[in-house]
Structure 1
Amino acid sequence: MARRALTTTATVLTTTAALLLTACGGGDDKQDDIKGADTGSTSPSASASASQASGIKRPDIKLPGEFQLTFDGWTSGDAVEQAVLDDAKEQLRAGYAAIIADEPDGGDALAFYDTASGLSQDRQWIKTYTSKNLTVFGKLPAYDPEFTLLGDKKTRAVVSYCTDESKAYTRNRATKEVQGNPAGTDPKVFYTVTLAKNADGVWQNVSTRGKRGGC
Structure 2
Amino acid sequence: MNRPARLVPAALVTTAALLLTACGSGDEDGSSSDKIKGADRGSSTSSPSPSTSAASDGRPEIPFPSTFTMNFERWTNSDPKLQAILNDGKEALRANHAAIIEADPDATYVAFYNSGAALDSSKKWINGYVKTDDSLIGVVRVFEPQVSVNSSGLGVLFYCVDEGKGFTKNRKTGKVVGTPDGTSPNLQYRTTLEKTSQGVWKTRSVETERGACGQ
TM bin (shorter chain): 0.7 to 0.9
The answer for the alignment partner of 1:91 in structure 2 is 92
1:1-16 maps to which residues of 2 (within 5 A)?
Answer: 1-6=6-11, 8=13
Indicate yes or no: 2:126 matched with 1:121. Answer: no
- Cα displacement string for residues 102-137 of structure 1 (whole angstroms, at most 9, x for unaligned residues): 1133x0011111113221110011112111100001
Q: Which runs of 5+ in 2 are unaligned?
A: 1-5, 17-48
1:173-184 maps to which residues of 2 (within 5 A)?
Answer: 173-184=171-182
Q: Which runs of 5+ in 1 are unaligned?
A: 12-43
Distance in 2, Cα, partners of 1:92 & 1:199: 21
- Cα displacement string for residues 7-38 of structure 1 (whole angstroms, at most 9, x for unaligned residues): 74799xxxxxxxxxxxxxxxxxxxxxxxxxxx
Matched residue type, 2:128: T
| 1:206, distance to aligned residue in structure 2 (A) | 0.5
Indicate yes or no: 2:161 matched with 1:163. Answer: yes
Q: Call closer, same or farther: CA 1:45–1:114 in 2, change over 3 Å.
A: same
Distance in 1, Cα, partners of 2:130 & 2:74: 31
How many residues are matched?
176
RMSD value, Cα? 2.2
| Contact 1:118/1:207 (8 A) holds in 2 | yes
| 1:101, distance to aligned residue in structure 2 (A) | 0.6
The answer for the alignment partner of 1:59 in structure 2 is 60
Q: Call closer, same or farther: CA 1:8–1:45 in 2, change over 3 Å.
A: closer
Matched residue type, 2:150: L
| Contact 2:14/2:207 (8 A) holds in 1 | no
**Identity rate of aligned residues, in percent?**
36
- Cα displacement string for residues 67-112 of structure 1 (whole angstroms, at most 9, x for unaligned residues): 011100110111001000000111111111110011133x001111
1:132-143 maps to which residues of 2 (within 5 A)?
Answer: 132-143=132-143
Q: Call closer, same or farther: CA 1:93–1:214 in 2, change over 3 Å.
A: same
Q: Call closer, same or farther: CA 1:151–1:113 in 2, change over 3 Å.
A: same
Distance in 1, Cα, partners of 2:54 & 2:112: 14
Matched residue type, 1:2: L
- Cα displacement string for residues 114-162 of structure 1 (whole angstroms, at most 9, x for unaligned residues): 1132211100111121111000010101000001211243xx1110011
Distance in 2, Cα, partners of 1:104 & 1:192: 22
